[in-house]
Chains A and B, each alone.
Chain A
Amino acid sequence: MLLLWSDIVVWLLVTSLLYFFWRLKQDTLLRERWQLVAQSRIAMASTIVLLAFVLIALADSLHFRTNDPYRPVVSALDMSLGNIATGQEKSYSAPFAIESLWQETRQTDDGRVIRAPVPLQHAGKQLDNPNDLSRDLWQRSLTFLSIGIILASLIVWMLSHLSVFSQTALPWKSAAITFIVLCGFLVWLWGMGQSYHVLGTGKVGEDVLYASLKGVRTGILIGGLTTLLTLPFAVVMGIVAGYFKGWVDDVVQYLYTTLNAVPGVLLIASAMLLAQLYLAQHADVFASEQERADVRLLLVCLVLGLTGWTGLARILRAESLKLREMEYVKAASAFGVSHVRIIGRHLLPNLGHLVLISAVLDFSGLVLAEAVLSYVGIGVDPTMPSWGNMINLARQELNREPVVWWNLLGAFVGMFTLVLSVNLLADRVQHVFNPRAQG
């Protein structure tokens, strides 16, 4: 068992999220609001998809040391993926191909020298005759799809007897359908991945499906950790500025205007360039390449968080300015209630929805930002599996002949699904908590 820094962070993130929902149960008003959120079918379906992403990220955050010199550190996800994780080829191959994309010169049995694609090492081994490929693909697809769907249906059927589901009037049906479809798809991916490269292989022969799955953790970590880092800062700064006004307000405004004045990418770039310099000169501090990449990932989050708090702080400041003039706040301060108590009792609860909406929206923005940063070369470590790095590679691959499009596809599907489900959920949350903005 090996704990990387980012693993700890991921688990902390999840525990804090669980704690947040546990607290929700205590608060009747909030619980009602969240039930409203859950009453949307789209929100239910997105939540199921998000949960799947979180589970993948969690499984990828349990690292173990092994005796294998080529793979000294593996995660629980790697172990459960089997051939998807270990099926290393030499270079490019197309999705579901059994032959390589590159050509090798070799001698045939009758002595001629030809240049032809070679059979892949980890794809279609069970085939006796290459012509059976399409039949085998159909057979396996049907088998795994039905296994997944039947399995999921069984789980749904068993859960449906629980009283929770019959008592609450939520769109459980949509959740169940999403769950079944998702299960069918994931089992199909896993099953096909055992005997084929579902998304082909990349430049150095790595399975693209595997890389896309590994990108989940990086994406969630960047979005989640950065949001978590910025929230306390933004909340304190915004409320303090709005509540106390005067010179405190001036200082806070000055701070965030200054940070905003520096072009975002450039500030991140400068900070990352300096961090890179530092990491390059202190390379010996880190035991393995993975640990160095890990520290760099955390640095990216930190730097993104440095500029990320200004937007929310500005909103909270404006809202606090309004709230402090409210009669109940005035009454409280007339009674001699301390500032800390007024902020905790009267301001914070009235700002919660703003924080929440901004946190969810920031998350999806950050996942997208990671891709841009990695493209510019100031994002996560190039050795780290991330969607941004995959897109970066895809740029040259599209200019190849034949065109290699599967890296782009893998990154696109992963990123799009994650961000879309977060955005759909955010839209619903915004609709319920702040109906005015939606109309």
Chain B
Amino acid sequence: MIQYILRRLLWLFPILLMVNLLTFILFFVVNSPDDMARAQLGNKYVTDAALTAWKAARGYDLPLLWNTNAVGWDVLTQTIFWQKSVQLMVFDFGVSDAGRAIGADLAQRAWPSLWLALPSFMIGLCVNIALALLLVMFRGQWLDKLGLVLTIVIMSISGLFFIIGGQYVLAKLWHWFPISGYEPDGDVWRFLLLPIILGVIAGVGSGVRWYRSILLEEADKDFARTARAKGLSLWQVMHRHVLPNGLLPILTGVVAVLPLLFMGSLIMESFFGIPGLGSYTIDAINSQDFAIVRAMVYLGAVLYVFGLIITDITYAWADPRVRFGDK
């Protein structure tokens, strides 16, 4: 077991390395620090002195890979690659182009993101599985058909419309919820309720279809038919036989995305003014703050890889065939 996990860990490390290299190439080689400075300071009317000062203030004035002016180890460390990319590997996020410490911002903003994303995800999961179970129980009947058409309709509506429409009708016209905003110490749920509800609704279409197909696969297996044949009620078969067996693929799917919830939801957060990592990212994109974008790319990759690892672990834990090397 431990050996298995170690092997997976070794396999995942190069991915982080590659992501890091990729961002380095994208942000510093394809696009030189000069370009970045010019974009920040206004494209046309920029003096060379202003450019140099901007770069020096943010540490972009170093050579890319090899510092010929330095001595000893500084040849390697006094470079953009070392200062900006290698430091990311040890979670030193540095300073944003606007001069704020990114690490502190991340730590502060991760919580609102999590408060929004985790309940949305969990409630959505329960609602989706419950509805999928309902459709599977009535499979082939009108409820199933109606449900399937409804899921396609919901899937065809852009999430933006749910957010815009929901915010307008429920918050602005009917005053059921505050339009937007966030109070870290006060009544957090008052602000989070509407985004959570809308998030669940927007995800219900594809979610129900997905879980329905997983559960149907289980429901078609021999054990389900036998259980039904020996006289168990439909509900008992679903509850005792189909659902527990379907939970394994569902569980592994859930575990994989769980860490990514930290990243927050870009659109939701910016619409409802929630100061999480999603709105942080959007602000960074809009103000072309490459330092933050780079940090978020790396953070996302780390969380993704982390998700892969815990998926493997749950999989091995839940399914002995994997654990004992029987591929």
A contact set with B: CB distance below 8 Å = 254, 257-258, 260-263, 265-267, 269-271, 273-274, 277-278, 280-281, 364, 368, 371-372, 375-378, 391, 394-395, 398, 408, 412, 415-416, 419-420, 423-424, 427, 436-439
Q: How far is the CA of A263 from the CA of B260 in the complex (A)?
A: 9
A395–B43 Cα gap in the complex (Å)? 29
Residues of A within 8 A of B160 (CB): 371-372, 375, 391
Name the one of A269, A412, A416, A439 contacting B213, with C-beta atoms under 8 angstroms. Answer: A439
Residues on A with C-beta less than 8 A from B281 are 265-266, 269
| CB < 8 Å neighbour of B267 from A267, A375, A415, A423 | A375
- Residue from the set B266, B290, B308 with the largest chain A CB neighbour count within 10 Å: B266
**Interfacial chain B residues near A439, Cβ < 8 Å:** 139, 213, 216-217, 219-220
In the complex, what residue of chain B is closest to A257 when comparing beta carbons? B15
- Contact yes or no, A262 B19, CB < 8 A: yes
Report Cα–Cα, A273/B296, bound state, in Å. 15
Interface residues of B (CB under 8 A from A): 14-16, 18-19, 22-23, 26-27, 30-31, 35-36, 38-39, 43, 139, 148, 152-153, 155-161, 164, 168, 172, 213, 216-217, 219-220, 260, 263, 266-267, 281-282, 285-286, 288, 290, 293, 296-297, 300-301, 304-305, 308
Partner of A266, one of B159, B217, B300: B300
Which B residues are CB-close (under 8 A) to A415?
A: 158
For A253, the closest partner residue in chain B by CB is: B11
CB-based contact A273/B288 at 8 Å: yes
Given the complex of chains A and B, what is the CA–CA distance between A405 and B19 in angstroms? 43
| Closest Cβ–Cβ distance, residue A375 to chain B (whole Å) | 6
Within the assembled complex, what's the spacing in Å between the Cα atoms of A394 and B305?
38
- A-B contact sample (9 more), CB < 8 A, given A398-B164, A415-B158: A254-B15, A262-B22, A263-B297, A273-B290, A372-B267, A376-B266, A412-B157, A419-B155, A419-B156
**Interfacial chain B residues near A436, Cβ < 8 Å:** 217
In Å, the complex CA distance between A424 and B285 comes to 35
If over half of B's interface residues share one DSSP class (helix, strand or loop), that class is named, otherwise mixed; here it is: helix
Q: Give Cα distance in the complex from A23 to B148, angstroms.
A: 32
Cross-chain contact of A254 among B14, B155, B293 (Cβ < 8 A): B14
Distance in angstroms from A248 CB to nearest chain B CB is 16
Q: Are A423 and B152 in contact (CB under 8 A)?
A: yes
Is B296 within 8 A of A263, CB to CB? yes
Q: How many Å lie between the Cα of A225 and that of B152 in the bound state?
A: 23
Say how far A46's CB is from chain B's closest CB, in angstroms.
11
